[in-house]
Chain A
Amino acid sequence: MKVLVPVKRVLDYNVKARVKADQSGVDLSNVKMSMNPFDEISVEEAVRLQEAGTASETIVVSIGPAKAQETIRTALAMGMDRGIHVETDDDLEPLAIAKILKGIVEAEGPEMVILGKQAIDNDFGATGSMLAALLDWPQGTFANSVAKDGDSLSVAREVDGGLQTVKVSLPAVVTTDLRLNEPRYASLPNIMKAKKKPIDAKTPGDYGVDTAARLKVLKVTEPPKREAGVKVEDVAALVDKLKNEAGVI
């Protein structure tokens, strides 16, 4: 079974986003960028499937600027076989990404696509399910565990009430949640090896899809600021404040 993993280069999760003064967006100049953390989990899962003999080939794809190649190299260093870089400087929306991914799926023929449940920059949480719909595939989203069982997958999902297990027939889309696995760090020898792994260069035009933005960003602003309050001496003072000052208990 071939497994495809799309990854996104995003502002590192440890860096607090700064809004640009002209309200046009978030300032991404001179800040640390990394692979979206959920995508690291997807890569790890694909590599584990290959190590277990379940996946025959693992392909990583990133749709983004030239620097997205670094993100692809990271996935290759974690153990994926080869990469596809669809180069674009546009910040494409999930629908456009899903359409390009559909083209890649049709060209490569994977039986399973593993994506992060959301990208921590735009927080849309949409690409995986959109891809599944475009392909008419079933989906196991927010995966806490994934097991292949013949020609289907059993996926335990993190839902608001707890865990829900579904069985989906292959081919299928899986989206990863935080508890699926703990991504490995690439070892130095593997980082060296990854430099020799092939990366196909593509453009959105190769897939013949309309990637025009549907959402116009009118402005990006800072959220309302919350001021720090007071420190209380002890628990008795806290209870008193909550009761008599804030009136919330």
Chain B
Amino acid sequence: MAILVVAEHDNESLKDQTHKTVTAAKAMGGDVDVLVAGKGVKDVAAEAAKIDGVRKVIACDHESLRRQLAEAMEAVIVPLMGDYDAILAPDTTSHKNYMPRVAAKLDVQQISSVTGVESADTFVRPIYAGNAMATVQSSDTKKVVTVRTTAFDSAGEGGSASVDTIADPSGPFKAEFISEELTVSDRPELTDAKIVISGGRGMGSGENFVMIDKIADKLGAAVGASRAAVDAGFVPNDYQVGQTGKAVAPELYIAVGISGAIQHLAGMKDSKVIVAINKDEEAPIFTVADYGLVADLFKALPELDEELSKAGY
């Protein structure tokens, strides 16, 4: 069996979600190749070649792939699939965008956001905001799978796969990139961070998130949010943690002024340790919290900042 893993990268560096997806692929059994599609991706391809257990890296380097638009990704991947029995990609927005296109073109039902690989054709995936786990067996000849990377460990380094370059995708495409507004931050990415601190509607305003930022900087944490905080315009959309935002599973998740709706829990309940700070002792977030602090966040956050300083942070 041959499996193609599509790399997550930003044309400059390879993201760890790729290593985690390789682990999921290995659990299916078979040879694992990695596709690096982008622009100026020589270094990224070289990094991918070092992932332990990768047979070969396929690089496709073209302007139309710089932002990995769905139409161009489909054009690169579908012709390659003659050689593969399965394709896996992390369930980030870039891959969620084109993977169903690939599946439809191959006449395959995609298996989305798997958290477990039982065998080459059987997978576990959360449904209903993670309130149920479905074990599904695919009868399609090829498998198209997106991977909830927080559920898998990273494949190690130490490999030395060859890098093949393939021809450019044939355009023109009916979609073009116009612009982007990316959130600039020196903090770790939400899905990678060891510690995440998120704020909810209780934060009251975007300015008040400064209190969370300060603590995040002390702890080297990423900052997240509930949907309500995003909808209210306190923070950008890419902060949203939950069923329909990002799934995170850090060592420590601190929820501040977040009630703990089903949809929010779906994105963070696999965190190792959960802390909740909420003034309502009945808030559902406390039912999943290892440590709950019933307090007004406007008092608790400055105190936390100070206690951390005292503790040497």
Contact = CB atoms under 8 A, between A and B. Distances in A.
Interface of A: 11, 13, 16-19, 25-26, 38, 93-95, 98, 117-118, 120-134, 137-142, 144, 154, 157-169, 172, 177-179, 213-223, 226, 228-232, 234-236, 238-239, 241-243, 246, 248-249
Nearest to B122: A218
A242 B132 contact: no
B174 A124 contact: no
Which among B100, B236, B244 has the greatest number of chain A C-beta atoms within 10 A? B100
B136 A216 contact: yes
A24 to B, nearest CB: 11
B238 A133 contact: no
B210 interface: no
Contact of B108 (A16, A169, A214): A214
Contacts of B252: 242, 246, 248-249
Contacts, number: 272
The interface residues of chain B, by DSSP majority, are classed as: mixed
Contact of B132 (A118, A164, A177, A223): A223
A150 B181 CA distance: 24
B78 to A, nearest CB: 9
A139 B273 contact: no
B137 A159 contact: no
B237 A118 contact: no
Interface of B: 67, 69-71, 74, 92-94, 96-105, 107-113, 122, 125-140, 173-183, 191, 195, 219, 227, 230-231, 236-238, 240, 243-244, 246, 251-252, 262-263, 269, 272-275, 281, 286-295, 300, 303-304, 307-308, 311, 313
Contacts of B243: 120, 123
A145 to B, nearest CB: 11
Closest 4 A-B residue pairs measured CB to CB?
A: A17-B128, A229-B290, A129-B100, A138-B174
B87 to A, nearest CB: 14
